[in-house]
């Protein structure tokens, strides 16, 4: 029996995807071998790569002047890749960041391995419970790009309105890609680790405006080099074939369900229902400013922190997993990615209600 899986990542996958992969595991489309056992240079895997890119382009309405790459290294690899691929260091350019939480700060930390990195605005003083007002962003004239984290999985804040910038805009969309429409043309680069809304860990997606490829002036490791990856169709070395295959199945599933528009409506409904319950119950507390609350990751606390351990144990016994808050902040977190069904959210709310009643 499958549990209600609210894990932040690697996260739940659609059951239809798991079933299809299970059916093809021993015999991929009549080949007599699994997708993990065939050459990434074969016609069969080339078809997977081509079909997955085409599906993602349709789902996100990606313009033709953008390359779609499937690099290894997850989003963390892209923290370095964007600096090495985009910054003209000899011209004195610097990467710039809006600091909205744990993952934005991790991106800054990685950028500083290669030189200066500028934080143009931060909500750290507010406990990362909101997003700095764009009117306060102080972007310097020598900015190579401005980086934003569209959704913070740990703090639970999300850009409800897409940001804009006079310089190249780079977005980490790891935890809300395909959850709602993104205007790709607004960004120079959009990247996402797969293990939240796109598939299993081990692969990422990077969408980059072709005119930016080769912009940087420093040597780039081949596996992070946008030019090398585009030329090799993301196969500059042996790619994580199984992760790529599963991502393609996820894209097919999103299309079959009605696309990103349908996902956005479902996600809004799930989040509104859960936040609505939390706001009405005295035992639980959501600390994020309402106008910045993430639809994907809902962190909350029990009013009496001493009850958290008992709460999590009871949740596991009741068939819920992944509700532990991130180790850096503690508390509770429910992740509501595309694969999470409304029925699971409703079941969680029923459990929260029952636990609150038992705590009286």
Q: Pull the structure tokens for residue 285.
A: 């507390």
Q: Considering only CA atoms, which of 208, 168, 182 is closest in space to residue 78?
A: 208
Give the whole-angstrom CA distance, residue 101 versus residue 118: 15
| DSSP code, position 193 | E
Give the whole-angstrom CA distance, residue 348 versus residue 18: 23
Give the whole-angstrom CA distance, residue 341 versus residue 336: 8
Asked if 137 is an active-site residue, the reply is no
Asked if 103 is an active-site residue, the reply is yes
- Which residue among 103, 180, 225, 270 is the active-site one? 103
- Dihedral over alpha carbons 45, 51, 52, 54 (to 10 degrees): 150
Distances (CA, A) of 46 to 23, 53, 205, 213: 20, 11, 17, 23
Asked if 172 is an active-site residue, the reply is yes
Q: Considering only CA atoms, which of 336, 17, 1, 339 is closest in space to residue 158?
A: 336
Contacts of 184 (CB under 8 A, 6+ apart): 60, 61, 62, 63, 66, 190, 207
- Which residue among 99, 172, 225, 252 is the active-site one? 172
- Which residue among 99, 180, 196, 225 is the active-site one? 196
The string of DSSP letters for 223-242 reads GG-HHHHHHTTT-SS---HH
Point out the residues that are catalytic.
103, 172, 196
């Amino acid at each position: 029996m499958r549990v209600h899986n609210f894990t932040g990542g690697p996260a739940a996958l659609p059951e239809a995807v798991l079933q299809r992969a299970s059916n093809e595991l021993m015999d991929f489309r009549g080949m007599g071998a699994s997708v993990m056992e065939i050459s990434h240079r074969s016609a069969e895997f080339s078809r997977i790569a081509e079909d997955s890119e085409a599906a993602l382009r349709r789902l996100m309405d990606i313009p033709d002047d953008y390359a779609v790459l499937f690099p290894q290294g997850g989003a963390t690899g892209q923290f370095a890749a964007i600096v090495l691929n985009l910054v003209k260091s000899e011209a004195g350019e610097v990467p710039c960041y809006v600091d909205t939480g744990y993952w934005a700060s991790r991106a800054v930390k990685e950028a500083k391995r290669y030189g200066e990195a500028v934080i143009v605005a931060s909500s750290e003083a507010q406990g990362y419970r909101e997003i700095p007002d764009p009117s306060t962003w102080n972007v310097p004239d020598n900015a190579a790009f401005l980086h934003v984290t569209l959704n913070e999985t740990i703090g639970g804040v999300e850009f409800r309105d897409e940001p804009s910038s006079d310089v190249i805009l780079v977005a980490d969309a790891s935890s809300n890609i395909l959850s709602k429409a993104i205007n790709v043309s607004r960004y120079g680069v959009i990247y996402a680790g797969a293990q939240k809304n796109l598939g299993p860990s081990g692969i990422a997606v990077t969408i980059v405006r072709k005119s930016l490829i080769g912009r940087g002036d420093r040597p780039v490791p081949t596996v992070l080099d946008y030019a090398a990856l585009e030329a090799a169709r993301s196969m500059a070395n042996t790619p994580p074939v199984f992760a790529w295959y599963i991502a393609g199945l996820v894209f097919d599933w999103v299309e079959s369900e009605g696309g990103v528009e349908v996902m956005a409506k479902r996600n809004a409904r799930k989040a509104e229902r859960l936040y609505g319950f939390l706001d009405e119950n005295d035992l639980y507390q959501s600390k994020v400013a309402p106008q910045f609350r993430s639809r994907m990751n809902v962190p909350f606390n029990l009013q009496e922190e001493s009850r958290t351990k008992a709460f999590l144990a009871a949740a596991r016994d009741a068939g819920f997993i992944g509700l532990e808050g991130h180790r850096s902040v503690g508390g509770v977190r429910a992740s509501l990615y595309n694969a999470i069904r409304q029925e699971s959210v409703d079941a969680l709310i029923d459990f929260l209600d029952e636990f609150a009643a038992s705590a009286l």
